[in-house]
Structure 1
Amino acid sequence: MAHDHEGPLARLRRGHEELVLRQLRTHGPLSRGELGRLTGLSRTTLYDIVAALVDGGAVVATVPAAAERRRGRPVEALTLHRDAGQAIGIDFARRAVHVAAVNVAHEVIGSTSAAHGAGLTWEERVDLAARLVGSLAGGTLRLGSLSGIGVGVVGPVRGPAATPRTDSPSGAPRLHEDLPVLLGKRFGVPVLLDNNTRLAALAEATWGAAAGVQDVLYLRLSHGVGGGLVVGGALHRGAHGLSGEFGHITAEPGGRRCSCGKDGCLETVASIGAVLDAQPTAGDLDAFLATLPTDPAARRLLDDVGTRVGTVLASVCNALGPAVTVLGGELAEAGPALFDPVERALSAHLMPVSRPGIDLRRATLGEVGGALGAIALVLHDSPLLTRYHTPKSVE
């Protein structure tokens, strides 16, 4: 009879171990108390599971440095063993490749970028990405230990394991139909794929301006306008990979024709190109931003852009109720000249009961956000890292 009960009990314990490992993989360093709240395990069960994982080498317990300690007994932080696995993120932007590497302890190993011309083939882009990955951490990154690669691309993507659509309304370049296979052959590990702007939203909720926040709305104002949603701590993609296409919400009825085929989309007034078209003497974005302190016309233009952005964001916030709204992209470099009218419009168009909860933040991760979000995609969504633990396997 004892043999009959051994299987279910062993499976239950294994399930508890994987639950703890998954939370550490997703959230990074956690205290036992935080792990208890996230897993719902009893104190006795949790401490028993954690002790076994620490003894086996899969989990490492550390105490804060003396300078960081508060009064009382120091609280240990639990993390996955840094040598247990690594993840690579690659962002294939329109004219550049960005890469980053993170270990399963959520420590960023390195990041780098390289611009390229419009005519580069997908095979050449993959070659460029491989060279950039090889340069990370001073060339000491152990590619053989990689547990997964997350990849960001321009345009709608049906899902993390799907091939991107090639009929993108946002003008994305046609993708190699076997891009995940091409990358998998190059690096020898499975590949997860998603929209790069949507991945930047996940990155900001993992490492950036909204780190640790479960419900985040992200909008990027760049050469295109798009964004992403993190709901309940997970990336929301939508049924057809179209979640986050905020740039194609109507901001100016009857306005300019958008690349998507509609008129008056937010992208037609709040993208870099739209702003420069409205201020042709500026030349480029850096020059335009430099004129803001002394040029009333430039400030009025940005005030109008910010008002339209805030109005669109308010509609999305009224529907979804995010805890934090993050604004990023090159246009966000305008600072208060953009953020002030955005916040005013948000306040004016949100439901009154929601106004005290406005939390508008500036993105902090910059151009590497898409690559870091691709890593977060692996750490959050992939089962690859949940079963790496075997006793003493990482010693």
Structure 2
Amino acid sequence: MSKQADSALTQMRRAHEEQVLSLLRTRGALSRRELGLRSGLSRTTLHDIISGLMSNGTVVSAAQESSPRGRGRPAESITLNPGAGQAVGIDFARQHVHVAIVNVAHEIIGSADEAHAADLPWPDRVAIAERLIARLTDSVVTLDSLTGIGVGVVGPGAGHAGTPPWTGTVKNRLNTRFGVPVLVDNNTRLAALGESVWGVAEGHQDVVYLRLSHGVGGGLILGGSLHRGAHGISGELGHITVDPDGPACPCGNHGCLETVASVNAITTAYQQAGGHPGEFPDLLTDLKDDKPRARVLVNRVGALTGRVLAGVCNSVGPELVVVGGDLTQCGDAFLEPLEAALRAQVMPAARRDLQVRVATLGDAGAALGAIALVLHESPLLARYLTDTTGEGDDS
């Protein structure tokens, strides 16, 4: 065989290997049959490629939890070697730091969080993140093969034009400490990504995500891709006006959804209505005890939230709405009026098929989305502009 022909075969084999590896990176564990269907490779070629990747330790085989046949040996799945690399995700929420670690086989191998005061300086927040990572590496994982760190932060434009100046300090400190690229983006948009990769929205192409906690924000998955927007402010659902004469919002407007449906806003409103003069957990207790003031207030906030979601849904036409954050702890008192208002005001053609679900990843959602951003292998990120250098725009 000529050197030219041998070179062509080598290049073809490498292309086939990368095709298989790309599928495993984006989809997680797959059976040989699924790999064959998705890659289009012949059974013989695929067997040869997988055998080579197994021999050098790049991929490993594992029995799936259950066999579709319901009997006999469990079907074998192929996955990237879990020891080949890890990524860390950090969510710097308003009053919490959340950390998660995932390996390249898409296995969540550790998570931790810690609360802090809302005015805690940023160097101290980064120190909390470093401490949480150290705690996880002492107990569940080592970071010998760390490939990158994803960071979620509060604020419009985070990670893009308009990035708060302190993000440069965060990125530089983490990069110096761990020696890997650090990518930053808006934490609520990353929570939407996390739910779409690992959570309740997995497999859906058009999703509206809304998180209601100390702040209110969202994220959009459109046509199977995370949507950033021209200025990096896509998903700022908390700043849609629900009452033009309402209280002032930090964004400069009045009566934004965040002034009604955030933890602080609903707690303050409950106190003003003569309810429990305590904190959000006290409102939840009164709601559980079916106190009328608590129920009426939460019903109203749910309905207002549903109206906002209806407007968004009429604009983008999702198949799924995901609601997450602390306010979902209010349960049916919040979610039922939300869904009723949403369905009453969304276009009739969408009412029957539109689904509403509660987020499943909890506090780890944004940290897991930050990991997906680092891996940059999800199909959801195919058209998403990210800073792959880890340097970003710190202006």
Indicate the TM-score class for this superposition, using the shorter chain for normalisation: 0.7 to 0.9
| Residue of structure 1 equivalent to 2:168 | 177
Q: Offset at 1:163?
A: 7.9
Aligned to 2:269: 278
Letter in 2 for 1:302: V
Q: Secondary structure at the match of 2:166?
A: coil
The CA deviation string for residues 335-366 of structure 1, in whole angstroms up to 9 with x for no partner, is 11111111111211121111111211111222
What's 1:389 paired with? Answer: none
**Which residue pairs with 1:341 in the alignment?**
337
C-alpha distance in structure 2 between counterparts of 1:17 and 1:164, whole Å: 40
Match of 2:390 in 1: none
Q: CA deviation at 1:187?
A: 0.6
Q: Is the 8 A contact 2:322 2:357 kept in 1?
A: yes
Distance 1:123 1:256, change over 3 A: closer
Report the residue type matching 1:348 in the other structure. Answer: A
Give the CA deviation at 1:82: 0.6
State the partner residue of 1:246.
237
Is 1:377 equivalent to 2:368 in the alignment?
Answer: no
Q: What residue is the counterpart of 1:142 in the other structure?
A: 142
Corresponding position of 2:307: 311
Within 5 A, what are the aligned runs for 1:218-229? 218-229=209-220
Q: Taking structure 1 as reference, are residues 65 and 246 closer, same or farther at Cα in structure 2, changes over 3 Å only? A: closer
Counterpart position of 2:259? 268
**Displacement, 1:120?**
3.8
Return the letter of the residue paired with 1:63. A
Mark the CA change 1:125 to 1:274 in structure 2 (over 3 Å): closer, same or farther.
closer
Instruction: Tell me which of 299, 315, 332 is aligned to 2:295.
Output: 299
Specify the alignment match of 1:125 in structure 2. Answer: 125
Q: Residue by residue, what CA displacement relative to the aligned partner does 1:16-55 show, whole Å, maximum 9, x if unpaired?
A: 3223222222222222343345445555554443333233
Distance 1:243 1:40, change over 3 A: farther
Task: Quote the Cα distance in structure 2 between the aligned partners of 1:34 and 1:106.
Answer: 17
CA distance in 1, matches of 2:366, 2:240: 22
| Mapped partners of 2:144, 2:67: distance in 1 | 37
* Paired residues for 1:1-395 under 5 Å: 2-39=2-39, 41=41, 45-64=45-64, 70-71=70-71, 74-139=74-139, 141-157=141-157, 159=159, 162=160, 165-166=163-164, 175-280=166-271, 281-282=275-276, 283-292=278-287, 293-381=289-377
Amino acid aligned to 1:331: L
In 2, Cα distance between equivalents of 1:228 and 1:181: 27
Distance of 2:131 and 2:47 partners within structure 1: 44
User: 1:69, 1:122 → 2: CA distance?
Assistant: 53
What one-letter code is carried by the residue in structure 1 that aligns with 2:28?
G
Deviation of the 1:123 alpha carbon: 3.0
Contact 2:161 2:231 in 1 (8 A): no
Greater CA drift, 190-199 or 314-323: 314-323
Q: What's the % identity of the aligned pairs?
A: 55
Report the AA paired with residue 245 of structure 2: G
For 2:323 and 2:44, the matched residues in 1 are separated by: 43
319-328 or 35-44, which deviates more = 35-44
Q: State the superposition RMSD in angstroms.
A: 2.6
Cα distance in 2 for residues equivalent to 1:23 and 1:370: 24
Q: Is the contact between residue 143 and residue 187 of structure 1 (CA under 8 Å) also seen in structure 2? A: no
Unmatched runs of 5 consecutive residues or more in structure 1: 167-173, 383-395
Q: CA–CA distance in 2 between the matches of 1:365 and 1:137?
A: 21
- Taking structure 1 as reference, are residues 126 and 294 closer, same or farther at Cα in structure 2, changes over 3 Å only? closer
- In 2, Cα distance between the equivalents of 1:349 and 1:38? 40
C-alpha change, 1:118 and 1:313, in structure 2 (3 Å) is: closer
What is the identity, as a one-letter code, of the residue corresponding to 1:270?
Answer: A
| 1:179 shift after superposition | 2.5
- 1:158–1:92 distance in 2 versus 1, CA, 3 Å: closer
Alignment gaps of 5+ in structure 2: 379-395
Question: Who is 1:171 aligned against?
Answer: none
Return the alpha-carbon distance in structure 2 between the equivalents of residues 214 and 50 of structure 1: 30
Whole-Å separation in 2 of the counterparts to 1:99 and 1:25: 21
Q: Measure, in 1, the Cα distance between the counterparts of 2:319 and 2:147.
A: 32
Partner Cα distance (1:141, 1:163) in 2: 35
Q: Measured at CA, do residues 240 and 48 of structure 1 come closer, stay the same or move farther in structure 2, by a change above 3 Å?
A: farther
- What secondary structure does 2:352 align onto? helix
Preserved contact between residue 29 and residue 79 of structure 2 (Cα < 8 Å): yes
Aligned residues: 373
SS at match of 1:259: coil
The 1:252/1:5 distance shift into structure 2, 3 A limit, reads farther
The question of whether the paired residues in 2 share the 8 Å contact of 1:100 and 1:111 is answered with yes
